[in-house]
């Protein structure tokens, strides 16, 4: 870790956030949905270290539970995109010809559409919810992993150890799953780490626009949208969720930089 400070600090940030999200019911000082009409827009103090919002809800508690939403959306959405990318990219790289042409042209078509506006179009049709957000982000971000895995498999499938497996009668599925994907997954891990940061930012942006996770479920994005009407008198409702998003994205970017150094 001394030779890789990016990985150390990235893991430290993300592990701390993950522990916060995991133990939210134990460490949250208040119910995140509890309304206190006597404590509206309280500035940070001993009772409410991050202050309260326009309904008197404790901001620290909402931030802690919001970490659960943001990390869940990022990890699950990227899991979906990586799974699709591995399947489609492996098929394109291994079989080539028609399969490669069809899959890669479809990926090119998908890349022609700005991802954020494509997600907005889909969310306008389906009901905004945390599950739909995860699925939509995953289904619209598989192209990068697919192109990466395809490129790696194209360079690996002619290697001697793959030819030896073919000579021994190994099936295509065994060659892909047991030999090609494990040797090609390095760049995909870096892409996945960056993808989680991107998915968290996307979820926050959608929630800020009112198209993401719906209140009263707290997420960092919908906490920010509540700050628009109180920006001049309650700075803490804007600053703390913004810092949480910034630190989380930095953490995943640090991990990606550390993984790049390891992979070479």
Instruction: Kindly report the length of the chain.
Output: 264
Question: What is the per-residue pLDDT for 10?
Answer: 92
Task: Please give the CATH architecture assigned to the domain spanning 73-263.
Answer: Orthogonal Bundle (1.10)
Q: In this structure, how many other beta carbons lie within 10 angstroms of the beta carbon of residue 126?
A: 12
The residues with which 58 forms a beta bridge, in sequence order, are 52
- 117 is written with which tokens? 């506006």
Q: Is the dihedral of CA 19, 23, 29, 34 positive or negative?
A: positive
| Whole-number Å distance between alpha carbons of 110 and 88 | 14
Q: Supply the DSSP string of the chain, one letter for each residue.
A: -TT-HHHHHHHHHHHHHHHHHHTHHHH-SS-TT---TTSTTPPS-SSSTT-B-TT--BHHHHHHHHHHHHHHHHHHHHHHHHHHHHHHHHHHHHH-HHHHHHHHHHHHHHHHS-HHHHHHHHHHHSPP-HHHHHHHHHHTS-HHHHHHHHHHHHHHTTSHHHHHHHHTT--HHHIIIIIIHHHH-HHHHHHHHHHHHHHHHHHHHHHHTTSSSPTTS--HHHHHHHTGGGTTT-THHHHHHHHHHHHHHHHHHHHHHHHHHHH-
Contact (Cβ atoms closer than 8 angstroms) between residue 104 and residue 92 = yes
Residue-wise pLDDT tens digits, 64-114: 999 988 888 889 999 999 999 999 999 998 888 898 999 999 999 888 877
Question: What is the per-residue pLDDT for 61?
Answer: 93
Question: What is the per-residue pLDDT for 1?
Answer: 59
Report domain extents, the chain: 73-263
Residue-wise pLDDT tens digits, 236-259: 988 999 899 999 999 999 999 988
Running along the chain, 264 residues long, what does each successive block of 10 average in pLDDT? 82 93 91 85 90 90 90 91 92 88 91 80 77 86 91 84 80 83 85 88 81 81 81 86 92 91 77
pTM of the complete model: 0.86
The residue among 25, 227, 200, 27 whose CA lies nearest residue 130 is 200
């Amino acid at each position: 870790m001394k030779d890789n400070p990016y990985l150390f600090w990235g893991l430290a940030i993300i592990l701390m956030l993950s522990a916060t999200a995991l133990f939210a019911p134990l460490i949250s000082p208040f119910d995140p949905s509890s309304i206190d009409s006597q404590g509206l827009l309280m500035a940070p103090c001993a009772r409410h270290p991050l202050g309260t919002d326009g309904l008197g809800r404790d901001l620290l508690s909402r931030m802690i539970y919001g970490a659960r939403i943001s990390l869940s959306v990022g990890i699950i959405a990227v899991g979906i995109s990586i799974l699709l990318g591995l399947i489609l990219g492996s098929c394109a790289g291994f079989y080539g010809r028609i399969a490669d042409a069809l899959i890669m042209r479809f990926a090119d078509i998908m890349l022609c559409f700005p991802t954020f506006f494509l997600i907005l179009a889909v969310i306008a049709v389906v009901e905004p919810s945390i599950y739909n957000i995860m699925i939509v982000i995953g289904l619209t971000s598989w192209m990068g992993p697919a192109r990466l895995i395809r490129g790696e498999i194209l360079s690996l499938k002619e290697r001697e150890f793959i030819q030896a497996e073919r000579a021994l009668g190994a099936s295509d599925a065994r060659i892909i799953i047991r030999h090609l994907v494990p040797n090609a997954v390095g760049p995909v891990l870096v892409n996945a780490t960056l993808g989680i940061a991107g998915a968290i930012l996307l979820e926050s942006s959608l929630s800020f626009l009112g198209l993401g996770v719906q209140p009263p479920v707290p997420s960092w994005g919908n906490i920010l949208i509540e700050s628009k009407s109180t920006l001049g008198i309650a700075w803490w409702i804007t600053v703390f969720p913004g810092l949480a998003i910034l630190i989380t994205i930095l953490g995943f970017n640090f991990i990606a930089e550390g993984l790049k150094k390891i992979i070479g």
